[in-house]
Structure 1
Amino acid sequence: MNSIRSRLLLWQISALLVTAMVVSALTYRLALKGFNELQDDGLEQIAHTVLRHDETPVPAPTGRAPADPAPTYTTGSDGAVMEADSPLVAPADGEPDEGRFVSQIWSTKGELIYASVLDDGPPLQPPGFHFVVWGDHTWRVYTLPRETRTVQVAMTRHDRNQGTASLVLWLLLPMALLVVLLGVLIHEAVSRALRPLDQLRRDIGQREVAELHAVSLNDLPDEVAPLAHTLNQLLERLDQLLAGQRRFLADAAHELNTPLAAIKLQAQLARRAQAGERQTALDDLDAGIERAIHLAAQLLQLARLEPDQRQPTHEAVRLDALVRQAVAAFSAGADARGTDLGVVQADAATLVGDRAALRALLDNLLDNALRYTPPGSRIDVSLRQDADALLLEIADNGPGIPAPDRSRATERFVRLNQTDATGSGLGLAIARETAALHGGTLQLDDTPGGGLTVRVRLPLSSPP
């Protein structure tokens, strides 16, 4: 059962029923006790009334001699005292009492003087209240002794229980009505309490894909407002993500359009070129294709670094060995340009990260350094380990980047030198995203003596 409404109703109505049963049981016990006490009080009052109206002795009924010996008593299995042998005594007027009570008058010698029933009734008991088994019933007996008379009044337990059952029924009927009424009110209260969630669900369910504006927080309960606020934060991040993807697609289409148009033009020129000029045209066509391949590869790398596409494989990476491999891969291109590319320091260091992404970071930084420094320049690569981080530096003595433009230089598709047709403006952006993926930062500084130093700081702790 995953429904909050069903769970609330189940628990609340179950608690209501359990409480109602406990209260009903207590009410029944208290009502039974009170009713029995009331009936006992009634027996006592009847006994006093009979005693007050019997101020003079009454002759014993015919057939029983006054000189009979005192009756003997036996004790039943339930502890009740019963007379062993008691003669039958009719009422004084010869007619039986049809009421619910049996009254008896006994002499001080234990002789039955009067009985309100045709047979003599329950045997004489000690003073006070007792339960006596007589005939086919259990009797509640009250015995009241005085100097000249002893009055005993009795009532069957069946008659007592009948009165109690009718009373308890009327006592429990309001409790049953209360349970039904509270059940209806609880159902309505739960429905009203969960109505904001239903409204929130309808609000979100009726939206189109592009409708990512925040949901209204007005009139929301305190328990629902944090959920709606968190949902608004998610919608805001999702809107930013989709907006970034739309910008990325637009910029990628724009950037790809230029090299593809150049390739088409170079292919047409190569087709029309004379035999002596065809080789030059084909070289230009190869360069255009190479630039398009490089741009497509960078776009793929950047797309893999998007937040919704990040699925890095974290492993222990010997970053010093990875730096040497990257520098060796670019050494041939550097030698062809007469550029001095080398590793000046590489501390042995192991980093938990994505090997492919870290290699892409090094490749893009080295490619940028070679691409934007003039032939004959110097590019120094160093890797140092601090107490809690690794510091990777790639320093060149090229033209550098002015301080006001450095924040823009790490944005996507930003080329500060618009006359350069070989770059795509993605190298530093890829490096920044890769550093952020590993919990690090990228910073652009001046190289002493002139040039640009790209400094990447990577923490040694596990990336987020």
Structure 2
Amino acid sequence: MSPSIRRRLVLLVLASIVLVWGVALITSYGQAKREVSEWEEARLAELAQILALLDQRNLTTLANARIDVREEEKGGEPGANDADDDDALPRDALFQVRKANGEMLAGSPQLHALNAWDLPVPPASGTQDVTLGGQMYHSFTLRDTTLGHIVRVFEPANTRSDLVSGVASRIARPTLIALPVLAVLVWFSIGLSLAPLKVLSGAIRSRDVNRLEPVDIGRAPTEVRPLVDAINLLLSRLLHSLERERAFTADAAHELKTPLAAIKVQAQVALAEPDTALQRLAMERVVQGVDRSARLAEQLLLLARLDVHEKLSTVPLKPAVVAKDALLANERNAQQKDIRVTLTGDLRAEINAEPVLIGILLDNLLDNAIKYGQTGGSIEVAVEHAADRVQLTVRDDGPGVAPGDLDRLTNRFFRATGNQATGSGLGLSIVARIAEHFGADLRLGQGLGERGLSVEVSFPAYAAVR
């Protein structure tokens, strides 16, 4: 059986009610017991005072009769119900009345059978429990100094609980009757309160896979609203992710279409051209087109992995060391354009990152700087340690980018106007995504001599991370 919030709430509510009612019943029973005990003692004292006022003749007559001290007798009142009688057993009070010198004036004959006729009299007035004939009795002694009488009254103790049990029964009976009714009411009340969850479940279940707009169930309770908001936030993220993937797929298809079409044209030229030199030139262009398509595919795959990958494990590394490797990898391209590349700054600064991704970041920055830099120009790679940040900057002195295009350079497949160099428009997108992955800040600005482009990536320093 699957867990049920409704069932759990009903059980918890009913258990709480039963617990509270149980405590209340026990407390009421104890209180009723004390009240009845006090009332019984007062009644015995009152009976003793009455007996103290009687003369010897009346006392003798009363001693030979039964003194039934029950507050109710079967059939004692018109319409009385015997089943509701609080004192179903007989309750005969016994008594002794003596003079101050101890002479017996009158007493209940039953005291002889109980071997209590000559029972010692307590020295002071008050209540006392005594055992007579193996049975417990409540006793009250009254020393009346005015009349000179000593009155002692006895009452069986075993029937005193009748009244208390009746009180407890009258308290518990409505509770036992009301509990099933209350359970039904609680069940339906909780079901009514949980109805918005059913509405929400139905709204989500009826959704088509392409419907990702926010869920609206009307006026939701305060407890359900966070769940609705969380679902709507998730749907918004899914919608944004799908839109981004659709745009990425469309742009990727468009970017791949151009080099593939060029490869096809060059291949057709090579097949149709009888001149061997022209055939070789066409095949070289085919190879260049394949290389461009392969690099584009690699960049697309890298972006896809960065989009879905969880945080990678990181190690302390020196950006300057990674930069040297990137310089060596791009040295040939720089020499072809006679570009001078220098590495400056704090070569011992460390960051917490993944070496391969930092290498890809630097490789893209250097490739862009060389590709779009001017022939015979300069490129500067600087590593600076300031406070708790390590800044990695690549500057060139090429034609630069129009101020209006700076904010769009990190968009995928965006290429600044006026650039003639071949490219996919993914290099800075990859740089921006890697920087975001490691919590770094990316800033774009003017390059060397107020020309070209400057790309600054500010990482948290390793010491600050540690």
Compute the TM-score of the two structures, normalised by the length of structure 2.
0.81
Structure 1 window deviating more from structure 2 (237-246 vs 417-426): it is: 417-426
In structure 1, the residue matched to 2:383 is 383
In structure 2, the residue matched to 1:139 is 137
Cα shift at 1:211:
2.6
Give the percent of matched residue pairs that are identical in Structure 1 and Structure 2: 30
Distance 1:168 1:106 in 2: 37
Cα shift at 1:11:
4.5
In structure 1, the residue matched to 2:97 is 106
Cα shift at 1:252:
0.9
Cα shift at 1:352:
0.6
Cα shift at 1:184:
5.0
In structure 1, the residue matched to 2:303 is 302
Contact 2:25 2:168 in 1 (8 A): no
Cα shift at 1:266:
2.0
Structure 1 residues without counterparts, runs of 5 or longer? 62-89
Which amino acid in 1 is paired with 2:108?
A
Structure 1 window deviating more from structure 2 (320-329 vs 452-461): it is: 452-461
Aligned residues: 432
Deviations 1:177-205 (A, max 9, x none): 46555555555554444444444344334
In structure 2, the residue matched to 1:333 is 333
In structure 2, the residue matched to 1:350 is 350
Distance 1:193 1:158 in 2: 52
Distance 1:217 1:206 in 2: 13
Which amino acid in 1 is paired with 2:384?
R
2:293 is paired with a residue of what secondary structure? helix
Cα shift at 1:436:
2.0
Give the 5 Å matches for 1:227-306.
227-274=227-274, 275-306=276-307
Deviations 1:116-172 (A, max 9, x none): 649565445434322221123211223334436544432211222223322321133
Distance 2:41 2:450 in 1: 116
Structure 2 residues without counterparts, runs of 5 or longer? 69-89
Cα shift at 1:228:
3.2
Cα shift at 1:404:
1.2
- Alpha carbons of 1:244 and 1:154: their partners in 2 closer, same or farther (altered >3 Å)? same
In structure 2, the residue matched to 1:66 is none
Contact 1:432 1:442 in 2 (8 A): yes
Which amino acid in 2 is paired with 1:136?
G
1:143 is paired with a residue of what secondary structure? strand
In structure 1, the residue matched to 2:312 is 312
Contact 1:444 1:455 in 2 (8 A): yes
Which amino acid in 2 is paired with 1:259?
P
CA RMSD of aligned residues (A): 3.3
- Alpha carbons of 1:227 and 1:459: their partners in 2 closer, same or farther (altered >3 Å)? same
Moved over 6 A (4+): 58-61, 95-98
Contact 1:384 1:391 in 2 (8 A): yes
- Alpha carbons of 1:370 and 1:105: their partners in 2 closer, same or farther (altered >3 Å)? closer
Contact 1:438 1:463 in 2 (8 A): no
- Report whether the alignment pairs 1:15 with 2:9: no
- Alpha carbons of 1:463 and 1:265: their partners in 2 closer, same or farther (altered >3 Å)? farther
- Alpha carbons of 1:367 and 1:152: their partners in 2 closer, same or farther (altered >3 Å)? same
Contact 2:339 2:375 in 1 (8 A): yes
Distance 1:371 1:102 in 2: 120
1:159 is paired with a residue of what secondary structure? coil
Distance 2:329 2:169 in 1: 97
- Alpha carbons of 1:105 and 1:267: their partners in 2 closer, same or farther (altered >3 Å)? same
In structure 2, the residue matched to 1:155 is 155
Cα shift at 1:418:
7.5
Which amino acid in 2 is paired with 1:232?
N
Contact 1:96 1:118 in 2 (8 A): no
- Alpha carbons of 1:429 and 1:107: their partners in 2 closer, same or farther (altered >3 Å)? closer
Give the 5 Å matches for 1:119-198.
122-123=116-117, 124=119, 125-126=121-122, 127-146=125-144, 147=147, 149-177=149-177, 183-184=183-184, 186-198=186-198
Which amino acid in 2 is paired with 1:47?
A
In structure 2, the residue matched to 1:209 is 209
In structure 2, the residue matched to 1:47 is 48
In structure 1, the residue matched to 2:108 is 115
2:315 is paired with a residue of what secondary structure? strand
Cα shift at 1:406:
1.5
Distance 2:415 2:296 in 1: 13
Contact 2:412 2:425 in 1 (8 A): yes
1:158 is paired with a residue of what secondary structure? coil
- Alpha carbons of 1:342 and 1:163: their partners in 2 closer, same or farther (altered >3 Å)? closer
1:35 is paired with a residue of what secondary structure? helix
Contact 1:131 1:140 in 2 (8 A): yes
Distance 2:134 2:234 in 1: 81
Distance 2:231 2:194 in 1: 17
Which amino acid in 2 is paired with 1:221?
P
Distance 1:455 1:59 in 2: 118
Distance 2:451 2:284 in 1: 34
Distance 2:341 2:170 in 1: 102
Which amino acid in 1 is paired with 2:382?
S
Distance 2:93 2:441 in 1: 104
Deviations 1:265-284 (A, max 9, x none): 22222222223322111101
In structure 2, the residue matched to 1:71 is none
Deviations 1:217-254 (A, max 9, x none): 75333344344334433332232122111111111111
In structure 1, the residue matched to 2:457 is 456
Which amino acid in 2 is paired with 1:336?
Q
